[in-house]
Structure 1
Amino acid sequence: MRIAFYAPMKPPDHDTPSGDRLIARLLIHALEEAGHEVVLASRFRSWVREPAELEAVAEQAAAEAARVIAHFQSTEKPDLFLTYHLYHKAPDWIGPRIADALFIPYAVIEASRAMKRARGPWASGFAAADAALARADAVAALHEADAEGLRPVVGDRLEIIPPFLDTAPFAAVAGNRAPNDPPVIVTAAMMRPGNKADSYRLLAEALARLTHRPWRHVIAGDGPERGALLPLFDPARTDYAGRLEPEDMPALYARGDIFAWPAVTEPFGMVFLEAQAAGLAIVAGAARGVPDIVADGATGLLVPPGDVDAFAAALDDLLADAEKRQAMGRAAARHAAENHDISQAVPALNTFLSHARRHHAARS
């Protein structure tokens, strides 16, 4: 099948690393592993920071949709249009138009739907995202928290495809792990305003309460908040690795024993999958989709999101018990390989695409 791929938030070849970019690339890789041809339909970004920008972006999207339609009409038409990740700040204004013009199925993988945005300044973005979901022939959520919000508008066109990655590079370091003395805590996240900065601040506060324990901390990440966030961490115990490329991540995890990230209001975090595949025990906030990929009490410890006392206590628990954190790390590597490897995603994506084609044929 020839698939036109589109990511409204950020194209998969964007310069700035993020979980969204990683998942987009993994989806393309998995689709190609399944034997499909994937073409990037557009690099148009519909994501906006402020609701006042939505109207202008919607107008630009109409022009971009017309351009893409003309391009596909004059070349080889795709068999299906697939959009990755839409929500009220990044609606898909082009996918449904293109799919309708070309008479092909339209499918969506990952969409977030918060009813509180149905009214107020983001209402037009919410309505645009809902219109795309209503048009979609199939929609896949990556975890139950998103699925719950999508069911009212998607109904039986909804399914769940668990997040995945190629676990092999991470499993290679998991098998060679030796415990560190003192134990090493790893954190990997961009240093951006909002949720990321809030998580960094909570993590710094939690670590400041654990000076009675021996440990070291490795931080990987960069961004506009670096100057404000790095000084929050004890320089005598902290190593700053900077911004790393995807191929460097297994080596980062190989340095550690525990992966710690509060995940304040985050969707789920691909870093949790990577760290588990590399054999690290997890300490995280149980926000949204995190409990879907971290097995609490087995592969790590989950605490209420935003609770610094609980986060510090969970870290203290694992720092004090080498046997427990090593057992969790081994369980984490097995969990990632058995439930979240790309090999499981290939048949799931094929089934999803088949559902989209069948629904489109029935609707037509």
Structure 2
Amino acid sequence: MKIAFTAPMKPLDHPVPSGDRTMGRLMVKALEAAGHEVTVASTFRSWRKDGSDDIQGAVKADALRDAERIAGDWQRTGYRPDLFLTYHLYHKAPDWIGPALADRFGLPYAIVEASRAPKRKKGDWAFGFAAADAALRRADAVAAIHNADAQCLSAAVPDDRLEVLLPFLDTAPYRRASEVAKPLAALPLKLLAVGMMREGDKTRSYEVLAEALAQLRDRSWQLTIIGDGPNSDHVLKLFPPEKVAWLGALPEDRIAVHYARHDLLVWPAIREAYGLVLLEAQAAGIGIVAGNTFGVPDIVIDGETSLLSAEGDADGFAANLERVLDDPSLADRLGHAASRHIESRHSLEAGAARLDAFVRKAVQTYEARAETAVP
């Protein structure tokens, strides 16, 4: 199947690394592994930090100009995809390009990782909310990335077009790193936190982590932090320097071995959609202590691959860490279960199979809708 692809939240060539960019690239890799031919139709980014009718009206105009450019290219080259697929759509990042091209060329249209916040129906984001809803109505198949998003989407998307498509990753580099570098857990417990140091939820996650670790300051642990950003000075001051090693931001190809050298990933996950780092850590064979946020319980197994506490609950987070400090072998049990869990449910192969079924369902739905629309 020929698939035209776009990612209005963050294009695949965006210079700033993020879980969103990584997941978009993994989607293309998985679709190609399933035998599909994927073409990035547009690298237009519709995401804006601030919303208003004027701001998003201007974005819409730019997007539709890009759609016209693409349509002209397709007509000149004779290219015609079998499906238009959009990755990550919501009120801050609507998709005008996919629906416009799908309507113009008579194509099935599908969305992966959609979310919907009804409180944005009015106010500064009303324009973007309405545009995202219009794309959802046009879509022949919509996939949420976790169950919490699916519940919100159910008010706008019919049940037969909506599903949950769990995230996945290429496990090979993490598995190799684990085979080479994974030690048995022992005191001092080797903890790892991976996250950008920017304002908002990421910084709040570091603050909750620091609050939890402060309760255990006299216990035997060491923390490695991978990440950087404009809030680095504030974040690093939260932790006792004698117990922390800061590695800064690292490229993706250097991170796997650091996961495998540690006993636990510790991340409060404030407002995380699901947390790609939680998948990466489990793939490297280390267990998780995290906050029970949005899609986190969809990608870990509480009590088996992870220990979860309520979002933002530093006391509960500290209590879970203390369980492992009292019994370091628990970290090994969590890690072994984590690697099995990822290989069975969240590998690239598993993701490719789910995506393949999803895009084929979108085509079938479009064809069935077209048949019923014929007078």
TM-score range, shorter chain: over 0.9
Give the C-alpha shift of residue 227 in structure 1. 2.3
Q: Relative to structure 2, which stretch is displaced further, 246-255 or 257-266?
A: 246-255
Find the aligned partners of 1:45 and 1:195 in 2 and give their Cα distance. 22
Matched, 1:320 2:326: yes
Partner of 2:203: 197
Give the C-alpha shift of residue 180 in structure 1. 4.5
Give the C-alpha shift of residue 146 in structure 1. 1.0
Give the C-alpha shift of residue 279 in structure 1. 1.1
Name the aligned partner's letter for residue 31 of structure 1. L
Find the aligned partners of 1:200 and 1:23 in 2 and give their Cα distance. 23
Name the aligned partner's letter for residue 56 of structure 2. L
Partner of 1:60: 62
Name the aligned partner's letter for residue 166 of structure 2. P
Number of aligned residue pairs: 364
Matched, 1:90 2:96: no
Q: Secondary structure at the match of 2:156?
A: helix
Partner of 2:373: none
Q: Is the 8 A contact 2:187 2:325 kept in 1?
A: no
Q: Secondary structure at the match of 1:128?
A: helix
Q: TM-score, normalised by structure 1?
A: 0.97
Task: After superposition, give the CA deviation of every residue in 1:342-362 in whole Å (9 maximum; x if it has no partner).
Answer: 111222111111111111112
Find the aligned partners of 1:142 and 1:50 in 2 and give their Cα distance. 24
Task: After superposition, give the CA deviation of every residue in 1:192-213 in whole Å (9 maximum; x if it has no partner).
Answer: 1111111111111211221121
Task: After superposition, give the CA deviation of every residue in 1:317-347 in whole Å (9 maximum; x if it has no partner).
Answer: 2122111111111111111111111111222
Find the aligned partners of 1:360 and 1:145 in 2 and give their Cα distance. 26
Task: After superposition, give the CA deviation of every residue in 1:256-298 in whole Å (9 maximum; x if it has no partner).
Answer: 1010111111110111011011111101110000001110011
Partner of 1:43: 43
Q: Is the 8 A contact 2:4 2:83 kept in 1?
A: yes
Give the C-alpha shift of residue 174 in structure 1. 2.9
Find the aligned partners of 2:75 and 2:366 in 1 and give their Cα distance. 20
Find the aligned partners of 1:230 and 1:97 in 2 and give their Cα distance. 47
| Aligned counterpart for 1:148 among listed residues 146, 151, 169 | 151
Q: Secondary structure at the match of 1:152?
A: coil
Partner of 1:17: 17
Partner of 1:356: 362
Q: Secondary structure at the match of 1:236?
A: helix
Partner of 1:340: 346
Matched, 1:242 2:244: no
Q: Secondary structure at the match of 1:240?
A: strand
Find the aligned partners of 1:129 and 1:180 in 2 and give their Cα distance. 49
Find the aligned partners of 1:102 and 1:249 in 2 and give their Cα distance. 43
Q: Structure 1 vs Structure 2: percent identity of aligned residues?
A: 51
Task: After superposition, give the CA deviation of every residue in 1:82-115 in whole Å (9 maximum; x if it has no partner).
Answer: 0000001111111100111121111100101111
Name the aligned partner's letter for residue 22 of structure 2. L
Find the aligned partners of 1:256 and 1:70 in 2 and give their Cα distance. 52
Matched, 1:118 2:121: yes
Find the aligned partners of 2:228 and 2:4 in 1 and give their Cα distance. 32
Q: Within 5 A, what are the aligned runs for 1:135-284?
A: 135-155=138-158, 156-176=160-180, 177-178=182-183, 179-284=185-290
Q: Is the 8 A contact 2:143 2:162 kept in 1?
A: yes
What value does the CA root-mean-square deviation take over the aligned residues?
A: 1.2
Find the aligned partners of 1:103 and 1:78 in 2 and give their Cα distance. 10
Q: Is the 8 A contact 1:174 1:333 kept in 2?
A: no
Matched, 1:109 2:103: no
Name the aligned partner's letter for residue 86 of structure 1. L
Q: Secondary structure at the match of 2:157?
A: helix
Find the aligned partners of 2:96 and 2:240 in 1 and give their Cα distance. 46
